[in-house]
Structure 1
Amino acid sequence: MMHDSDALLDALRQAGDPEAVQALEQLIQHGADEELVRINALSFAGEHGLSQDAVISTLLHGARLGLFEMSWNILCSSCGGVLGANASLKSVRQDAYRCAFCALDTEPILDDAVEVSFAISPRIRRVAAHDPGSLAFWDYHRQIFFGTGVVFPEPPAFEDLARLATLEAVELQAGERMILALQIPAGSLILFDPVTHTAQVLDVAGEPAQQRQELSLVFDDIRPAVGHVDLKPGQLRLTLENRSEERVLPGIFIAGEALNTLIGGRRPFLTAKRLLSNQAFRDIYRTDALDVDQRLKILSLTFVFTDLTGSTDLYERVGDLVAYDLVRSHFQILTAVVASHGGAVVKTIGDAVMATFPMPSQAVAAALEMREAMRRLNTGRETDELILKIGLHEGPCLAVLLNDRQDYFGQTVNIAARVQELATSGAIFVSEPVVRHAEAARLLTEKGLQAQRHLCSLRGIGSRMPVFELT
Structure 2
Amino acid sequence: MPIYMNLSKFVIGIPIGCEATVSKKFSIEETRLVKLPLEVVWGLVSDTNRLNRYIGLFPVNYTPFTNKAQQLIRKAKGKAYGLLEVEWDENVFEWVRDSFYTVERNYTKGPVERVIWKVSVVKVDEQETNLTLTGWFEYRSLLGKVSLKKGIIPQLLQTFSYVEDAATTKEQMPTSKEQKAIRVEEHVLVDAEHHLKGIALEQNLVHALIKTIRTESDEAVTSIQPYRWAFQHGFTRQQAVRLFLFASEAGILDYEWSLMCPNCRVAKDHASVLKDVKKTVHCDLCGVDFELDFENYVEMTFQVNGAIRKTNKATYCINGPTNSAHTIGQFRIAPRSTTHIPWTSIPKPMQVRVIKHNFKVPFTYQPNMESSKIHIQPNGIVEQLLMQSSDISIVNASDEEYIVAFEETKWDEYALTAREVTSLQLFRDLLPAEVLAPGMQIGVGKLTILFTDLKDSTQLYERVGDASAYSDVQKHFTTLGNIIRSHDGTIVKTIGDSIMAAFSSNIHALDAAHEIQSSVSSLNEMLNNPVTIKVGLHEGPVIAVNANGVLDYFGRTVNMAARVQQQSTGGDIVLKKKLFDEMGYIADLGKITEFTTQLHGMTSPIQLVRLEPLLESLD
Unaligned residue ranges in structure 1 (runs of 5+) = 153-160, 168-181, 190-198, 207-227, 233-252
Q: Deviations over 1:180-223 (max 9, x none)?
A: xx99984499xxxxxxxxx878x9x99xxxxxxxxxxxxxxxxx
Cα distance change of structure 1 residues 106 and 450 upon mapping to structure 2, 3 Å threshold:
farther
**Hey, what's the Cα distance between the residues in 2 that align with 1:409 and 1:66?**
32
CA distance in 1, matches of 2:602, 2:228: 42
Asked whether 1:49 is paired with 2:234, we answer yes
Give the structure 2 partner of residue 220 of structure 1. Answer: none
Q: CA deviation at 1:37?
A: 1.7
Higher share in strand:
2
Partner of 2:399: 230
Deviations 1:18-62 (A, max 9, x none): 243222111111222211121111122233332322321221222
Q: How many residues align?
A: 379
Evaluate the alpha carbon distance shift between residue 462 and residue 60 of structure 1 in structure 2; reply closer, same or farther with a 3 A threshold.
same
1:455 maps to which residue? 596
Aligned equivalents of 1:367 and 1:354: distance in 2?
Answer: 12
CA distance in structure 1 between the partners assigned to 2:405 and 2:535 by the alignment = 52
The aligned amino acid for 2:447 is: L
Determine the structure 2 residue equivalent to 1:89: 274
Structure 2 residue 542 is matched with structure 1 residue 397: yes
Spell out the pairing of 1:55-94 with structure 2 (5 A cutoff): 55-94=240-279
- Contact 2:544–2:551, Cα closer than 8 Å, also in 1: yes
Q: Is the 2:448–2:504 contact (alpha carbons within 8 Å) kept by the matching residues of 1?
A: yes
1:308 aligns with 2:449: no
Tell me the residue number matched to 1:174: none
SS at 1:127 equivalent: coil
Partner amino acid for 1:89? L
Residue 27 of structure 1: aligned partner: 212
> Taking structure 1 as reference, are residues 390 and 137 closer, same or farther at Cα in structure 2, changes over 3 Å only?
closer
Cα separation, partners in 2 of 1:429 and 1:22, compared to 1, 3 Å: same
One-letter code aligned to 1:397: V
Q: Closer, same or farther in 2 for the Cα pair 1:448/1:467, shift >3 Å?
A: closer
Partner of 1:343: 489
Q: TM-score, normalised by structure 2?
A: 0.55
Q: Which of 463, 486, 506 in structure 2 is aligned with 1:360? A: 506
Map 1:396-415 to 2 at 5 A. 396-415=541-560
Moved more, 28-37 or 336-345: 28-37
Higher helix share: 1
Pairing 1:112–2:253 present = no
Letter in 1 for 2:235: L
- 1:350 and 1:264, CA in 2 relative to 1: closer, same or farther beyond 3 A? closer
What is the alpha-carbon distance in structure 2 between the residues aligned to residue 398 and residue 137 of structure 1? 33
What is the SS of the residue equivalent to 2:399?
Answer: strand
Q: 1:373 aligns with which of 491, 516, 519?
A: 519
1:9 match = 193
Conservation of the 8 A alpha-carbon contact between 2:534 and 2:573: yes
Structure 2 vs 1, CA of residues 78 and 187 (structure 1 numbering), >3 Å: closer, same or farther?
farther
AA paired with 1:113? Answer: Y
Is there any run of 5+ residues in structure 2 with no aligned partner, and where? 1-183, 342-354, 360-373, 376-396, 613-619
Q: 1:188–1:254: 8 Å Cα contact kept in structure 2?
A: no
The 3-state SS of whatever aligns with 1:365 is: helix
Matched, 1:431 2:572: no
| Superposition RMSD in Å | 3.6
Letter paired with 1:10: H
Match of 2:480 in 1: 334
Instruction: State, as a whole percentage, how many aligned pairs show the same letter.
Output: 29
Distance 2:196 2:506 in 1: 32
After superposition, what is the alpha-carbon deviation per residue over 1:284-304, rounded to whole angstroms, capped at 9, x for unaligned?
222332111110012211100
Matches within 5 A, 1:315-330: 315-330=461-476
One-letter amino acid of the counterpart of residue 14, structure 1: G
Instruction: Map 1:244-263; keep pairs closer than 5 Å.
Output: 255=404, 260=407
Indicate the larger mover: 11-20 or 80-89: 11-20
**Offset from partner CA, 1:351-401 (integer Å, 9 cap, x none):** 1111000121111111001111112323x4599812110010111121001
Question: Within 5 A, what are the aligned runs for 1:134-145?
Answer: 135-136=316-317, 142=322, 145=323
**2:605 is the alignment partner of 1:464:** yes
- Which of structures 1 and 2 has the bigger CA Rg? 2
Quick one: which amino acid aligns to residue 552 of structure 2?
D
Q: Which secondary structure state, in structure 2, belongs to the residue aligned with residue 119 of structure 1?
A: strand
1:280 to 409, 426, 430: 426
- Give the structure 1 partner of residue 172 of structure 2: none
* Alpha-carbon contact 1:200-1:229 (below 8 Å) kept: no
- Larger RCO, structures 1/2 (Cα 8 Å, 6+ apart): 1
Matched, 1:126 2:310: yes
Asked whether the 8 Å contact 2:452–2:533 carries over to 1, the reply is yes
Letter in 2 for 1:415: M
Letter in 2 for 1:323: A
